[in-house]
């Protein structure tokens, strides 16, 4: 991938606005440009962003670049606001994946500083970055589509007129290890501490969102205080409770999936070794039904 160059932007305020925990801007020298090295994630239709290995000021990082999102396309905002109108400006603070990650990492930082949670529950974050025109142009040239067409007048206003491309700088994990039998207990501890001690609900617990025992993706997370969760508590207490226990349910499902995958691999291997012809014995077995709570 060719290397892109651009001038440094100078963000100063912590984000998101509107109260609750915030993330500080990434601090770099004005001359430090982003050198784009390679994509780290794989293309999916429903992803909230794009993750790159980059170098800034000769240090390597993982940079997650976020798509723009519109609160009106978010089912919680739409449905809950029918009964409790929430201005679009506030809606974006609680539905946008970039703001969700800023708030989550802000809370993790607070927890660390107050020594409430000193475990590494998440991949380290160094702050947010607003990209300059050259970097944004380079992404566009590379075919990275950030849904800028959603930026209508209303959304621009809600974003305070700042429509620069948003990104979060994280530690680059050189050999990202998946959750496995060796780290599953620590992975559960991460989720438990985030939920119980930090009141941070990831809402998208799955193997892809862990690097080893640490969570890496907070794009769908809800961090208390959270306006949508407050609305939910008022209109549907049981549903709010279900959302607060969603991470536990999804963690159990993740373990089941991993166990099933491993068992199937072992079975497939032994079936192959026996050189049995025809359909393997496990092919007709019904897999356990999954309990799911919709993501958006």
Ligand X SMILES: Nc1ncnc2c1ncn2[C@@H]1O[C@H](COP(=O)(O)OP(=O)(O)OP(=O)(O)O)[C@@H](O)[C@H]1O
Enumerate binding residues for Mg ion (CB under 5 A): 209, 217
Q: Does 51 bind ligand X (CB under 6 A)?
A: yes
Q: Does 54 bind ligand X (CB under 6 A)?
A: no
Of 209, 221, 223, 250, the residue at the interface with ligand X (CB under 6 A) is 209
Going by C-alpha positions, the residue among 221, 223, 225, 210 that lies closest to residue 173 is: 210
Going by C-alpha positions, the residue among 154, 169, 191 that lies closest to residue 124 is: 169
- Rank residues 12 and 42 by Cβ distance to ligand X and give the closer one: 42
Dist. CA 62–CA 37, nearest whole Å? 10
Q: Minimum CB separation from ligand X for residue 217, in Å? A: 3
Per rule CB under 6 A, count of chain residues that contact ligand X: 20
Token readout for 170 is: 């994280």
Q: Does 219 bind ligand X (CB under 6 A)?
A: yes
Q: Does 216 bind ligand X (CB under 6 A)?
A: yes
Name residues contacting ligand X, limited to 82-121 (CB under 6 A): 97
Contact 25, 12 (CB under 8 A): yes
Q: What is the DSSP string of 117-129?
A: --S--B--EEEEE
- Rank residues 21 and 97 by Cβ distance to ligand X and give the closer one: 97
Binding partner selected for residue 41 from ligand X, Mg ion, none, CB under the kind-specific 5 to 8 Å limit: ligand X
How many other C-beta atoms can be found within 10 angstroms of the C-beta atom of residue 206? Answer: 14
Q: Does 49 bind ligand X (CB under 6 A)?
A: yes
Of 64, 213, 226, 244, the residue at the interface with ligand X (CB under 6 A) is 64
Name residues contacting ligand X, limited to 247-286 (CB under 6 A): none
Dist. CA 95–CA 99, nearest whole Å? 8
- Rank residues 49 and 111 by Cβ distance to ligand X and give the closer one: 49
Q: What is the DSSP string of 184-223?
A: HHHHHHHHHHHHHTT-EE-S--SGGGEETTEE---TT-EE
Q: Minimum CB separation from Mg ion for residue 278, in Å? A: 39
- Rank residues 105 and 138 by Cβ distance to ligand X and give the closer one: 105
Going by C-alpha positions, the residue among 18, 35, 15, 17 that lies closest to residue 26 is: 15
Q: Which stretch binds ligand X (CB under 6 A): 107-115, 150-158, 172-180, 264-272?
A: 172-180
């Amino acid at each position: 991938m060719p290397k892109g160059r651009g001038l440094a932007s100078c963000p100063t305020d912590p984000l998101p606005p509107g109260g609750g925990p915030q993330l500080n801007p990434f601090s770099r020298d004005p001359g430090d440009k982003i050198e784009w090295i390679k994509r780290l994630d794989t293309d999916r239709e429903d992803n909230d962003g794009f993750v790159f290995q980059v170098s800034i000021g000769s240090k390597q990082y993982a940079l997650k670049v976020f798509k723009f999102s519109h609160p009106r396309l978010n089912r919680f905002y739409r449905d809950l606001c029918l009964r409790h109108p929430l201005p679009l400006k506030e809606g974006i603070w609680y539905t946008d994946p970039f703001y969700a990650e800023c708030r989550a990492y802000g809370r993790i930082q607070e927890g660390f500083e107050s020594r409430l949670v000193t475990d590494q529950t998440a991949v380290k974050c160094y702050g947010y970055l607003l990209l300059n025109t050259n970097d944004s142009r380079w992404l566009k040239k590379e075919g990275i589509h950030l849904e800028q067409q959603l930026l209508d007048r209303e959304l621009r206003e809600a974003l305070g007129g700042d429509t620069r491309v948003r990104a979060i700088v994280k530690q680059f994990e050189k050999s990202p290890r998946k959750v496995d039998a060796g780290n599953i207990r620590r992975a559960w501890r991460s989720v438990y501490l985030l939920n119980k001690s930090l009141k941070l609900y990831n809402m998208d617990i799955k193997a892809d969102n862990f690097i080893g025992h640490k969570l890496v993706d907070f794009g769908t997370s809800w961090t208390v205080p959270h306006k949508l969760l407050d609305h939910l508590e008022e209109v549907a207490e049981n549903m709010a409770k279900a959302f607060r226990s969603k991470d536990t349910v999804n963690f159990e499902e993740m373990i089941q999936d991993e166990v099933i995958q491993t068992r199937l691999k072992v079975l497939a291997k032994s079936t192959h070794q026996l050189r049995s012809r025809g359909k393997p014995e496990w092919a007709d077995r019904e897999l356990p039904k999954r309990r799911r709570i919709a993501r958006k």
